[in-house]
Structure 1
Amino acid sequence: MSTVVLVGFGGIGTQDHQTDMYLPAFARHPAFTLVGTLGSADPGGAEKAAKAASDHGLRHFTDPAEAFTAADVVCVAAPIGLRGGIVADAVRAGKHVLADKPLSASLTEALRIQRLAAEHGVVVVPAHHIRLGGALRSARAAVRAGRVGLPWNVQADFLVAGGDPSPLGELVNLALYPVDAVCSILGLDVTRVYATGGPALVTLMLDHPHGVTSTVVCGRTGTLHGLAPAGLATHRYRVSGSHGVLTVDATKPALRVRTAERQSTAWTGPGTVDALLDVLAAGIRTGRPEIGVADAVRTLRVIEAAQRSIDTGAPVHLEADS
């Protein structure tokens, strides 16, 4: 069983995925034991860490070196500007890491973490957990098994309704999820990016090897009746191949729950964050996690290229960036 310390209780804007997602998932996972919390340097970080420790009977650390010494795994969900540095420090201390998404504020930071992880022989798992949903796992298996023949195009829609807009824009905040899912389904990298849109809604047109293309529409809509704030309004994929078309509703399998106040969905099995911790546990055992730093590097490369494309109005070829 691996011991875990939670570092940072922030994110992008008002996010606190540590409290909302990772803390409860680690608390119920049989492969991990929570031992403490550590605040990051952002305003209020220490107070949030102290409260979480008090609420859950954990130790509240104030010294990073002491916190890292007490744990096998460091779960980093610090504000995005601090995240990459904290992940790098944990890796230098020889600790395995689960990192909130995106792994770091820049591709340069992610490449540095990748080098450090290889040098220190530790596992770093970024929170690309959306691809672990049952429908997307099935889609990946079907495409890899040739159920649609040779794939030539994927259309992906990932729309969140309401909630707090990201101060960095939804390209940085949300787009890595569908981009990562598309690359996972196809088993292909991205060679060229053309993107258009604004802070709330973006469209990415991606080229992959062997003439395969994909289009990703991603962003945040206004509040929709019956959906909780920041709920997934649309999450779907259409994979076209030489011998058929596969249409995937990635919000399923789930139960739809209607009350007098709102409509929501409830998963019929373990959620994707629980599956992410399964990936982490298996990665620690084998040294080869299903999701690793290379996935974060790939998606950050695409996201940064997309922003350059939006800024210039021209496509960006990724071979020149590698």
Structure 2
Amino acid sequence: MFSKSIPSVILIMILLVFIKFNYKGNHQDFLLSSNIQNNKIFDKTIELNSVVVGKPVTIENYFEFLDSIVTAYHARTSYKLTEHLLVRANPWIIENLKNTDYYILKANDSFVYDQKKMIVFRKGDLIVFPDSIKAKEILKAFEKTYIDINIPEYKLRIIEDSTELYKFPIRVGRPEWKYLKMADRITDLKTKTGSGYIINHVRNPDYYNPVNGRQYFVTRRDDHKITALPQIPFLETEINGIRNGQLIHPTTNPITLEKAYSNGCIGTKETDAWVIYYYAPIGTKITIRYDLNIKDSLGEKIVLKDIYNYRKNL
């Protein structure tokens, strides 16, 4: 009596097991497969190996895609999986993001109007999960990393322990006072000095003119061509316990770098902004200083121009 029904029951059970282990949630269209090292257990947690990208992912979907991976797999790692940890374990992702810079593409005879439409991940790309040892190494690096900015030098450095990892040109605030509608007051535009932390990431920023408060959606580049504004994260700082709206963010006009040009924010190249973002998770320490006496690359002492006339006012 039961012999005819047994094959059907077995078939249904196999189908249910298949669905359970192949369902990827909301990001199933992006993920082609996941590889799991079933023979490696750490603290009762399965160590993950990798995921394969199932279809192209553009800048406008990039953060949603990474969030979907973190949400789907964070409970199955022996460490706290985050976007920053995942990307630092796959440095080629940062290189892909850097190569969406308008001026890098222009140098290769490519004009891109809308950076958000550019592809970061291609079908078949492999995103590797770090093992517990590598994850611990990256997390320790985060703890030892800080951002150092010297205003008159127009430089931002990323430093781990005492080792300088990167040095980027920046622009800083102008030495003047001006009425800003967004602040509704006359404001000192000079970049403020002090110590603090990165307290927020704005991954899909809106762009406003602080002078008149108007939002804008396109930008005129240094070559006078008009493009849509890029989607690159802004980093919000808290300096000396004060959140004064002083951001670290990319500029679409690198001709203004190494100048006192902004309304107080620290401007960088688009390509450099991606690196800074992934080396500065929330909580990263930051120092903004005004040192005129520095040493050049040969160790020779030099005195920088006093762009804010601080020495004159002493």
TM-score (ref. length: structure 1): 0.22
The structure having more radius of gyration, on CA atoms, is 2
TM-score (ref. length: structure 2): 0.23
More strand by share: 2
